[in-house]
Structure 1
Amino acid sequence: MKDSILVIGTGFQHFREYALRGLAQRYRVVLVARSPLEWELPYVAEYREADLEDEAAVLAAAEDLAARNRIVGVVTWDEWLVAQAAEIAAQLGVRSMPTGAARSCRDKAMQRARFQEEGVPSARFHLAASVTEAVAAAEEIGYPVVVKPRGQAASIAVTIVHGEAELRETFEAVRGAESPSIGDGLVLVEEFLSGPEVAVDSWVLDGRIEPFSISAKRTDYPPFFEEVAHVVGKVLDSATEAAVRDVVIAANRALGVDRTITHTELMLTPDGPKVVEVNGRLGGDLIPRLAEIAIPGLSIGGVLGAVATGREPDPIPEPDRLVGIRFLYPGADLTFDDIELPAALADEPWVHEVRRVSEPGTELRLPPRQFLGRAGYVIATGADIAEIDARLLALADSTTVLGEPLSV
């Protein structure tokens, strides 16, 4: 039998092909997939289909692959499958993410409790089973507060509220947006952390935590925190970067994560960096792909495969450029047709990529009617963050999202 890495789920091609490609260039990949393979075929040695929401079916598929291949690592970059992948690795007897750590990565309240116990700077919080409890929690913490689902990703339904009336209007909508993996109906009410937001990608192996990429996040559509842009590279001064690294290492250690790449989100508050959350998988929104562009020779798939199989990755250089992404949204709700960018702008040397990510005929709505209702994205480089922000905004403003208007 051949040594193989088991991948559970692949995600959307536009957002995850770079990771599967990089992994397959260095390791033999076997896969449990939701449907027959299409774009994944060149990268996969063997696969089985299973309903990824049915853990028993996924385990059966994984066991079938394990009977024919020597599984030496188990990975997923799908947020919803992090805990399941850890459980399956344990069932197969493959060292991977500890199951307790994986569950903590899927529940923001569990993370907050661990950070509190271990002295990791984070937000004060309470869990609320009712709007009455939420109001009491907010009064204790002090307005404004952030109300959020505990098991969602990409800031879906995360809402800032400034007073009791707003909280009463918001509470049930936030609870209704919860991930099916959280079934107790409890909503997280937490301290509002003010300041710029950054995210740090780190590889973790046998207790060693190595941050290697930092991104600056841009959000929009208040009172929500829809993630609309990111800039990757040397985005912090040396002193701030050192402080951020220390907090990231402490947060990952507190949760006990292992044998993966994590994505840690932090707020740079006036009191120093504080953790928003730790994700037990690759960052989304193509942030790791931006890191590949910014850091010479970096292969995210290669790093992930190394730590998943218990090998220390090759040294990762410092970034030598800045690169940013901005997502394209319609101006109003519509049935999507295409995106249109002036040719002269598209040909600028600093434009790295412009891509449509929604299929024609897709209904796209703006928050809160839909989160992540994106038509496409643009990627640009620049000399500094201000220049990249300006270029990304110019690209977004000049791009027309075409389609037929929808009634609200």
Structure 2
Amino acid sequence: MSENILVIGSGDQHFRDYALRGLAERHRVLLIAQTPLAWQAPYVADHREVELKDRAQVLAAARELAALHDVAGVLTWDEMQVRVAAEVGAELGVATMPVEAARACRDKARQRERFRATGVASARYELAGSEAEAAAAAETIGYPVVLKPRGQAASIAVRIVRSEAELRETFALVRDAENPSIEDGLVLVEEFLAGPEIAVDSWVLDGKVVPFSISAKRTGYPPYFEEVAHVVGKVLDARTEAAVREVVIAANEALGIDRAVTHTELMLTADGPKVVEVNGRLGGDLIPHLAEIAAPGLSIGGVLGAVATGREPGPMPEPDRLVGIRFLYPAADLTFDDIEVPAGLADEPWVHEVRRVSEPGTELRLPPRQFLGRAGFVIATGDSVSDVDERLLALADKVTLAGTPLGDQNR
């Protein structure tokens, strides 16, 4: 009989259906979620609806489910639940990510401390609680610097600043965008790492770190780092990939991570790969699903379930194609209606998918008025990284976002 795995937070259907479905094909899923079952229903054996921001409610629901079912593993792919999932595992006596490692994954300053102590290549940094402290830190590090919330995800409110004036204009916005889990009000002031940005998904079990997917990230809306596109597959030459794998393994080991699938972000600097951060959960933005498309036979749900229950996943299939995703943003702030796709475009052999992810009537604004204000996305394949990039841009350009402009662009 299939083992029971407790999942905390299902995420959005558009971005996590593949993970829950793949997990349910191999295990019985016990779900703790924010809302009643909807799209999750075919995949879930038992369910509790709670306020996920309330740790006590999550723990109570976990105890209730554990009293009814033998829980073999606990996992989450929700960034905000990484620490709670580790605490639930400890509470139930189920091996999962160590709580201290989960805390480090949720606080980028803790990560920087561990990296510095263990010699993992990363950015120089300081913590600042005021504009004056941030300005002093920037002078020490040297402009340009990056201001960053410590507990957010998806590059939300991360900004490059090139002068003290820009820093003082930006500091309050970055601090106010912080996740409530960070209570001390301190903002990261970091060295700006120049170079291409990549991300690596790995499984980690019993001291073994195995990278299985590498993606190239594209950002937009400078001076912010909004994540607008990703390309997955063989995106690096063999020498660079070997160096990246070495740093990824060292970074995961430095944080004491175990029983997890992680998402490590790096910059390919002139001095070699340097870690931006390690996320203690599966990558977002459909990156792992792109890895499934790039490497037929790969099941992300299978990897998640194996690691959660203490088994090494089988050999990871090598990617045999390149696939990318680009998110659709309005040209200006608008009340969104729908996505209009030219006739025949979706039938092109290199077009994998065009999807709407925002509901009609949603107000979409551009950074910094809103982060991740996406109407939908396009997915395409290609013969090279540049080919995929060009096709994604052309595809996004041909798709029209219908809607009504918002009068106040600065609200």
TM-score, scaled to structure 1: 0.99
1:390 aligns with 2:394: no
Pairwise CA distance, 1:2: 7.3
Q: Is the 8 A contact 2:323 2:388 kept in 1?
A: yes
Q: Distance in 2 between matches of 1:361 and 1:228?
A: 22
Q: Secondary structure at the match of 1:343?
A: coil
Q: Is contact 1:33-1:49 (8 Å) kept?
A: yes
Distance 2:284 2:3 in 1: 28
Question: Which residue is equivalent to 1:372?
Answer: 372
1:88 counterpart residue number: 88
The residue that corresponds to 2:268 in the other structure is: 268
Alpha-carbon distance in 1 for matches of 2:43, 2:58: 20
Q: For residue 28 of structure 2, what is the aligned residue in structure 1?
A: 28
Moved more, 48-57 or 240-249: 48-57
What is the aligned residue count? 408
- Paired residue type of 2:3: D
Q: What code does the residue aligned with 2:399 have?
A: T
Distance 1:159 1:33 in 2: 32
Instruction: Write the deviation string for residues 330-361 of structure 1: whole angstroms up to 9, x where unpaired.
Output: 01101110011212322111000000000001
Q: Which residue of 2 aligns with 1:139?
A: 139
Between 338-347 and 113-122, the greater mean CA deviation after superposition? 338-347
Please report how far the alpha carbon of residue 296 of structure 1 lies from its aligned counterpart in structure 2 after TM superposition.
Answer: 1.7
Counterpart amino acid of residue 94 in structure 2? V
- Which residue of the partner structure matches residue 280 of structure 1? 280
The amino acid that maps onto 1:149 is: P
**Cα distance in 2 for residues equivalent to 1:95 and 1:167:** 43
Q: Which residue of 1 aligns with 2:244?
A: 244
Pairwise CA distance, 1:35? 1.2
The Cα RMSD (Å) is 0.8
The equivalences for 1:9-408 within 5 A come to 9-407=9-407, 408=409
**Contact 2:2-2:26 within 8 A present in 1 as well:** no
**Cα pair 1:306 1:313 within 8 Å, conserved:** yes
Q: Identify unmatched segments of 5+ residues in structure 1.
A: none
Structure 2, unmatched stretches of 5+, are none
AA aligned opposite 1:381 = T
Q: Which AA in structure 1 matches 2:332?
A: A
Question: Contact 2:2–2:27 at 8 Å: present in 1 too?
Answer: no
1:356 partner amino acid: R
Q: Quick check: 1:106–1:151 contact (8 Å CA) kept in 2?
A: yes
> Can you list the C-alpha shifts for 1:206-225, whole angstroms capped at 9, x where unaligned?
11000011000000000000
Deviation at 1:28, TM superposition (A): 0.9
Q: Which amino acid aligns with 2:226?
A: E
Task: Report how far residue 292 of structure 1 moved.
Answer: 0.4
- Separation (CA, whole Å) in 1 of partners of 2:404 and 2:275: 41
Compute the displacement of 1:394 (Å).
Answer: 0.2
Q: Quote the offset at 1:317 in angstroms.
A: 1.5
Kindly provide the CA deviation profile for residues 17-55 of structure 1, in whole angstroms up to 9, marking residues without a partner as x. 000000000011111111110000000011111110111
Offset of 1:260 from its aligned partner?
1.1
- The list of structure 1 runs, each at least 4 consecutive aligned residues, that deviate by more than 3 angstroms after superposition, is none
Give 3-state SS (helix, strand or coil) of 2:344's partner.
Answer: helix
Post-superposition CA distance 1:211-243 (Å, at most 9, x none) = 011000000000000000000000000000000
Moved more, 1-10 or 30-39: 1-10
Q: For the residues of structure 1 that align with 2:2 and 2:402, how far apart are their CA atoms? A: 49
Query: Partners in 2 of 1:30 and 1:345 — Cα distance?
Result: 40
Task: With the length of structure 2 as denominator, give the TM-score of the two structures.
Answer: 0.98
Partner SS state of residue 143, structure 1: coil
Identity %: 75
Partner Cα separation in structure 2 for residue 107 and residue 245 of structure 1: 23
Contact 1:2 1:70 in 2 (8 A): no
Deviation at 1:101, TM superposition (A): 0.3
The Cα shift of 1:318 comes to 1.0
